[in-house]
Structure 1
């Protein structure tokens, strides 16, 4: 599998992480509104552990969650990328696409733009047959991004996240998917 370390879009650069990025990642991941659809905000140590896992995934697989940087300001605004799922479910093993952006960057189309670049890399350069995405039932913003990038949902695929306890309000997750043939049909 080819290493993909940097991707570009008209407004964004998706790149590997450097040590200096931790402060921004920690601030974004500590924001209760950004983390509303996750079990809890992350403290700095948890963000550092996450950054280590991201870097380890890149080292092991040649792709991962890219640091998302605005070209106009050189500002790190979050992440977008691909990763192997970290739990067992009816649809795993699977490559998933995900994103997290600073709240002041929402509503500008950055998640969609970056996700399309990540999908292109996944299908065209890495050769995946399918890419999945999932989110808590309550996360309408992410669902809209999934729909905007051409992913589709079959309600029969929805699942209870195995890492969340029975009765947890975020346990029910919606699963979206996009297959290579669908991607090629949309983006010849």
Structure 2
């Protein structure tokens, strides 16, 4: 079982009892405004999302982690790695991403979790380049990308939804 400990977080694989907490995060329009078309996800769609993430772990050897607070055991959200099939122009690529519930915003958890996932990608999984993709107006995500040492690679548009996206990237030499 793949787990990563940071000073305040445990990044781990998904468990059945994570579903309700993740569904609550995914039901928040403010959290979801930067994900896909910005729609919230219900319990069934959240279960499907968790299942896809677990399948990616099995197929790729990496995936999206559950992010748990060490002090309380609360599920704060998710962070990890995935193939960004929704944006073919960056393929082949692996994306680092994060999504936290609003009570966990502004405390450095997103940067901490994303840094752990990035380190896992480059050092443990031997990947040589990682991207991060966010809506062009998502300054909070841009701040996290900057803290990770990522540089803007391109500005493009979501191929289905049309909104502007910024793609940031970092390779192993920049990370080292």
Bin for the TM-score computed over the shorter chain: over 0.9
SS of the counterpart of 2:166?
strand
Aligned counterpart, 1:62: 61
Kept in 1: contact 2:87–2:158 (CA 8 A): no
- 1:150-186 CA-partner distances (Å, limit 9, x unpaired): 11104xx21111132x4xxxx21000000100011xx
Q: Which runs of 5+ in 2 are unaligned?
A: none
Quote the Cα distance in structure 2 between the aligned partners of 1:132 and 1:88: 11
* Count of paired positions: 174
Quote the Cα distance in structure 1 between the aligned partners of 2:79 and 2:87: 22
Query: TM-score scaled by structure 2?
Result: 0.95
Query: Post-superposition, which runs of at least 4 consecutive aligned residues in structure 1 deviate over 6 A?
Result: none
| Cα shift at 1:88 | 4.5
| Cα shift at 1:130 | 0.3
SS of the counterpart of 2:170?
strand
Kept in 2: contact 1:82–1:96 (CA 8 A): yes
| 1:141 maps to 2:140 | yes
| 1:119 maps to 2:111 | no
Quote the Cα distance in structure 2 between the aligned partners of 1:23 and 1:62: 26
| Higher Cα radius of gyration | 1
Aligned counterpart, 2:44: 45
Kept in 2: contact 1:80–1:99 (CA 8 A): yes
Query: TM-score scaled by structure 1?
Result: 0.89
- Let me know the Cα RMSD of the aligned residues: 1.2
